[in-house]
Amino acid sequence: MLKDSSKDKENTFSLIDTKTNYKLNYGPIWTILTTILIVALPQIIALIIFGIYFRLDHMSANRANNWFNSSVQAQFIYVSIIELQSIGAIAAILKFKSMKFIDIGFCKIKLKDLLYTFNGFLVYMVAFISLTTLADKFISGFNSTQKQNVGFQSSHGISQLTLTFISLVILPPIAEEIIFRGYLFSGLRTKLKFIYAAIITSILFAMPHLLEGQSGGALWIAGLDTFVLSMVLCYLRDKTNSLWPGIFLHALKNGIAFVSLFSVL
């Protein structure tokens, strides 16, 4: 009796390492390398497409750069091209493995997903504020007031703000959750315990955000922010076997930033 009770207790504490819901068995190295390609190649292809357009329109490099940075429509198209390519690449990989998006957590929305979303948001906020306060106090050179360059600085008016909202609050949460918590994290969890899969996923998710500073150099506050967010998103993915709580939390976080940056209220 005592022995059985001990086994039950052990199983209770090991629930977070259950891997029965993860089927994308490519192995950690392959999953990491393909994720990097899924993120990087669409950006290169999008730049090539715009480069061809600039040549056909006989734009100088300076004029093209100014137009792209000041055109909300151009930035919306750029983001859309990247996100659609990334999702298309994952769709192709899943088809090759005779799998569907539901196998990486893109399932039906449930009412309890909203409860997980708000609970996750509270955990994220407490963890982020706490770690930022500690980093400001103990890490020399850490600057929590660094500004992030999200593009779309020239957005104004309903039509442009709508495109900006879609580009920042709708498309990235869906595409990035499919890529990072759907494809990458699910692939890693077939071989690794939760904590290792979550840390690797969160590092890879945070790294591109380090390059988004307005004044150049590493944007450490964005790196910390996205790392903490990703750890919470990984937990939600593991806990619910669904991407929707993570998508909603990601969209909520980006939506608050959108309201703050563009003063739409």
Neighbours of 5 (CB within 10 A): 9
Query: How many angstroms separate the CA atoms of 16 and 6, rounded?
Result: 18
Which run of H or of E encompasses 82?
helix 72-96
Question: pLDDT of 166-194, one tens digit each?
Answer: 999 999 999 999 999 999 999 999 999 99
Confidence at residue 100, expressed as pLDDT on a 0 to 100 scale? 93
pLDDT tens digits, one per residue of 116-132:
999 999 999 999 999 99
- Is 213 in a helix, a strand, or coil? strand
pLDDT, tens digit, 9 for 90 and up, residues 45-88? 999 999 999 999 999 989 998 888 889 999 999 999 999 999 99
Question: Domain boundaries in the chain?
Answer: 23-262
Instruction: Indicate whether 15 pLDDT > 80.
Output: no
Q: Is the pLDDT of residue 19 over 90?
A: no
- Give the separation between CA 104 and CA 20, rounded to whole angstroms: 12
pLDDT value of position 17: 52
| Under 8 Å between Cβ of 101 and 178 | yes
Provide the 8-state DSSP code for 220.
H
Mean pLDDT of 229-248: 97
Q: What's the pLDDT tens digit per position in 150-167?
A: 778 778 889 999 999 999
- Give exposure, 9-26, as e/b (b: 16+ Cβ within 10 Å): eeeeeeeeeebebbebeb
Q: Annotate 135-180 with DSSP letters as a single string.
A: HHHHSTT--TTPPB--S-TT--HHHHHHHHHIIIIIHHHHHHIIII
| pLDDT recorded at residue 214 | 53
CB-based contact 231:123 (threshold 8 Å): no
DSSP states of 105-124: T-----THHHHHHHHHHHHH
For residue 215, what pLDDT is reported? Answer: 56
Q: What are the pLDDT digits (tens) for 20-55?
A: 568 888 889 999 999 999 999 999 999 999 999 999
pLDDT at residue 5 in the model = 47
Q: Output the CA torsion sign for 100, 106, 110, 113.
A: positive
pLDDT in tens, 239-264: 999 999 999 999 999 999 999 888 76
For tokens 């500690």, what's the residue?
Answer: 134
Q: What percent of the chain has pLDDT over 90?
A: 71
Q: Which residue has the tokens 């790196």?
A: 223
Q: What is the pLDDT of residue 147?
A: 78
Instruction: Please give the model's pTM, rounded to 2 decimal places.
Output: 0.88
